Structure formats: structure tokens, C-alpha cells
A and B are shown apart, each in its own frame.
Chain A
Amino acid sequence: MVYENPDGVRIGLEIHIQLNKLKTKMFCGCSTDYHNAAPNTHTCPVCLGLPGALPVLNKKVVEAAIKVGLALEGEIAEETQFHRKNYFYPDLPKGYQITQYDFPIVSNGKIVIEGEDGEHTVGITRAHMEEDPGKLVHIGSIEKSKGVLIDYNRSGVTLIETVTEPDMRSPKEARRFLDKFRNILEYLDVFDGNLEGAMRVDANVSVHWGTRVEVKNISSHKGVERALLYEIMRQKNVIRRGGKVSQETRHFDEGRGVTLSMRTKEEAEDYRYFREPDLMPMRITDWIPAIKETLPELPDAKRARFIEQYGITDMHAKSLTSKIMLADFYEGVCAKGVDPKIAATWTADVFLGELNYRDLAISSYDGEKIGFIHAKDPRIKNSIKVSDMVELVNLFAEGKISDRAAVEVIRTMLDTAEEKTPFQIIEEKGLFKAEDDLVTKAVAETIAENEAAVQDYLGGTEKSLNFLVGQVMKKTKGTADAKTARDLIIKELKG
């Protein structure tokens, strides 16, 4: 099957990610751990842009950028350097941003995603290093703003800006690209996507191979698909009415789910880039071999290994490797000698499914337990131990609990903060599978009490069997294994 792309959609992305795993900012020793701090408590003369202060580049920034470049299969520049991008805005205390211009550290990379019609390659034009501006908070709403408060704690934190080719053909592909990109960055351990403002996305999109429109301010990961769906629909409507899509920059209003034209000044962008005289150029290609050595196994490689090593399905392997912390948790569970296929089902299907249902995102794994946090309310958090998952998988594999009971255990572990083992939960809730003679008794009773259904089944109505199984489950309060009950009924009635 080849994807026809009926509306001629082309999407390119520009993604800013914060290297928030580094201890300090890009050009000064201020800590990056400012997320719960009072305003302007993580600043110094360099990131405040005070006269005479000189930037000195954090070596780890360059190492991380090279790591990202290698993971994206890009080229690392022989010689690279910084430029000043000049513009006035209060979040930028120096009046310019230190960024890279015509010699970015990374160029010509790619990421292979699951596209509309199978594997699809998205080209990475470039990736470069730059500094984050400060944060502006409007007093009152943006429209009725009485003034603006500036907090420079974020000023000078390292950003990696990555620009893709316009290779994505639908909002879904754009979303998948971001999922994969974020996953890779977390594997590299340079980035924590759960922190506020960690990833910011601008998109350019056109339909029928026409004029492209830039959509800015897509802050949430999930907002990308919505913003693009809206913008594509808008452009198609303009063309349907006989109009022309004009080249412009639009702003995504997350609350209303629409894109709005930004009334920009007529002046074309005029940033007067010039080489940053305070920073020396870099020649870092001789670092590459050593950094290559430190690269972890990346998602695609891990996925292939999981299939090979644990004998699990590609679907399970893909899902388990979609987050490094989940992959590590699964391997932690398997290392305890449980059946890896059963562990894959309970981790990838049930555990992950229940997390998603609750809007919980995996946020940590320390070798003993996997932590998760609510996507919108960071106060809601919890964790599950490797030993708990091992116990649960073993109880299920030994036939001591039904699959319904195992799901119930996982839900209880997610919803309560009490530290209880699966065994304790099962005991408390009476979830142990009924003894076989209990089930046999329930089957006998059911057959005796449901003459009509028994006759229907013997007469060829298969549905009636389901009804009888349901009655057995009811009698055993769900502790019977449905398949056992079914087999027993058939055996009883048909010999």
C-alpha cells in the first residue's frame, strides 16, 4: 500500500529541546534546577547579560549535541562556531541570542518513523546549539495585559534546535516523529521530557504543494496533531472558496484549538547575524570516536534485540522500547527469571494501557521501581516495584489468579499509595482463583439451574455457552478461570 497523500500535505518541524539533564546552563555555572524556584534566583552576570560579563561554553553541551547528531545519523561539522542573533525583546537581556547560523554542529540526519504506509524516513536538515531566553508572565490575560513580569532563571539554559525536512505527510506522522525523537533523546539521557517547557515545537505546513504557513507556539507534545489538523482544514477551506493561502506566521491557541494570524510588523526578519566574538570556534571531530563508544543501544536496535532475546512479538517489543525507562523495567523483571512473554503482555498491554488511561507518564526507573507522574498534575505520582511485577507475573503464570484478578491487582497498585505486594492485595480482595472443585460445583449448579440455555447450546446455539460461562463466573465471584469453566461445561454436556 502506498500512501496517496490526497491533500498534498507537507509538514516540516522545528523543535527546541532543553538539555535539562545538564547541571548548569550553557555559558555560566548557574544551576538548571530552577523549576520550583522563586524568580531570578538562578542567575548571574552572564545570563543576565550584564555589561562586561563573558560567556564560557559548557563542554557537556557540545558532547550532548554530538551525541544527538550521531543518534540522528547526521554529519558532525569539522569546524563549528556561534553567531549573535540580534533582536529586542525583554526575555533576551543582552539584546541578542547566542546561537549557530551557517555552521551548525549537526547536519543531514534522519529518523525513520512508522509512516502512513510503513517505514518512512524524515530528513533532519540541521541541529544546532543555542541559549534559551527568560520567561515572561503577563499580568492578567495577554489581550488585557497590564504589564509583563520577567524571570531570568531559564535564561541561558541550553537548547538544541532541530529542523526537519518537510517530509511528513499528515499530522499523525508529525506526532509519530516527535514521539520517536523524544524517545531517542531520553535514551541518550540528555533530556527529561516531563519537565515544563522541555520541548517546544513550531511547524510549517502546506497543502496541495502550495504556500507554507508557519504555526508557532505549540508547547505541548499532544498539541502538535491538533494544531496541524486545524491548520490543514483551514487551508483546504481557503482554497475551496477560491482563495489563496498566504504566506504567514500563525499562533496556536491551545485552549481553543485554533491557529490565529499574528499581526507581525511589515519589517522582514532582520537579525543581523554576525560571528560571536566572545566565543572561540570549535574543532571537535576528534571527540567523535570516544562519544560513539558511550552511545547507548537506541530504540530500533533494542526493539530488534527484544524480539530475538525474549521471543516476544514486534508489537510488544515496539511498545516496551517506546520509553527507555519502560524497557529497563521490563528487562529488570525478566532478569528475575519470569516468563518474558507473559511479562511482556502484562507490562506492555495492561500496565502501559492502564497508565495511559489514567494520563500517567513514566518518569523514573532506578533499577528497583518504575515511577510515573500525572501528565497535568505533578502532585499525583506513584510507582511499581520490579519485585511486585515479578510476583504478579509468577502468580498468573502458575495459574493461581485469573487474568481478571491480575488486572485488578495492577489497577489497585496504580490507584493506591499504600505499599502492598500483589500477594497482599489478592488476599485482601479474595482474588485467588477458586479451587477446581469449587468451579466444578458451580458448573454442576449452573447446568442444573439453566435447562433452557443448556438445550439451546446442545441444539447448536453457541451463544448460550457464553451465557453459561457467565453464570459460572458469577457464582465464583470472578475467581474462576473463564477458559477452565468453559472447558468444564463442554466436557459435562458433550462428554
Chain B
Amino acid sequence: MITKEDVEHIGWLARIEISEQETVEYMEKLNSVLGYFGQLDELPTEDVAPTYHVAEIYNVFREDVVEECLPQEVVLANTEHKQDGAFRVPKIG
């Protein structure tokens, strides 16, 4: 069962603010989703290997060859917060 504290913790990890009312709402929704997975859990899967990729593909690589990079002004084009060619962010806690 997901508690209110779990929801608050998840919100903190994701750095999103969740209001008191939303906390209750999300708790109910998350519990409903997890309840569904609970049903799946009832199936006997001891002898089944987990599937992470549906396509059975291994070993996808590229060669160590240099390609062109983006120009600095393009890299910084989408932000107003820049200084001396770098992204500028507030000081970190």
C-alpha cells in the first residue's frame, strides 16, 4: 500500500510540489495502479525469465569515429540563462 508519506517522498525525488489535496488523490490513483499489478503478481511466474526487451537484439554498437558537434550558440539557443558560453543556474543547496 502506498501511504501519503510515500507520495510526498516521490514528489520530493521528482522535485515537484504536491498539494495536500493532490497527495490524497495521487495516493488513491497509485494504489489502484499497484492493485492491478497485484493481480498480475498472482500468476505463477517462478519459471519464467523476465523480459526486458521484446526484441531479442544484442550488441548494438557504433565505431569510435568523431562526428560534428553543435555550435555553442545553438546549444544555448533555448535558454535565457547563460553566461560566458555556459548555462547559468541558481546555486545548488
Contact = CB atoms under 8 A, between A and B. Distances in A.
Interface of A: 22-24, 28-31, 38-45, 48, 56-60, 62, 81, 86, 88-90, 136-139, 145-152, 267, 270, 272, 275, 277, 279-284
Nearest to B13: A270
B88 A147 contact: yes
B6 to A, nearest CB: 11
B9 A267 contact: yes
Contacts of A272: 13
Contacts of B87: 40, 90, 149-150, 152
Contacts, number: 122
Contact of A42 (B15, B59, B69): B69
A415 B83 CA distance: 41
B90 interface: yes
B30 interface: no
Given A48-B75, A267-B12, A283-B58, A39 B86 contact: yes
Q: Is the interface of B mostly helix, strand, loop or mixed?
A: loop
B57 to A, nearest CB: 5
B70 A43 contact: yes
A88 B16 CA distance: 11
Contacts of B63: 58-60
B75 A29 contact: no
B35 to A, nearest CB: 21
B76 interface: yes
A280 B83 contact: no
Contacts of A147: 83, 88-91
B64 interface: yes
B60 A279 contact: yes
The 10 tightest CB contacts between A and B, nearest first, are A29-B67, A149-B86, A59-B61, A145-B91, A60-B64, A39-B85, A150-B87, A56-B62, A39-B86, A280-B60
Contact of B89 (A148, A151, A277): A148
Nearest to A29: B67
A148 B13 CA distance: 21
A209 to B, nearest CB: 34
A283 B89 contact: no
Contact of B66 (A31, A43, A57, A59): A31
Interface of B: 9, 12-13, 15, 52-53, 57-72, 75-76, 83-92
Given A40-B87, A57-B61, A58-B63, 16 more contacts: A23-B66, A28-B67, A29-B62, A29-B67, A30-B67, A38-B85, A57-B60, A59-B64, A81-B52, A148-B92, A149-B87, A150-B86, A150-B89, A152-B87, A280-B57, A282-B58
A37 to B, nearest CB: 10
A24 B53 CA distance: 27
Contacts of B83: 139, 147, 149
Contacts of A40: 72, 75-76, 85-87
B65 A56 contact: no
A38 B72 contact: yes
Nearest to A138: B91
Contact of A277 (B15, B53, B85): B53
A125 B91 CA distance: 36
Contacts of B71: 41
B52 A281 contact: yes
A58 B52 contact: no
Which of B59, B64, B69, B88 has most A Cβ within 10 Å?
B69
B64 A22 contact: yes
A86 B65 CA distance: 29
Given A23-B66, A29-B66, A39 B72 contact: yes
7 contacts: A23-B65, A41-B85, A147-B90, A148-B88, A148-B91, A281-B58, A282-B58
Contacts of A48: 70, 75
A193 B65 CA distance: 23
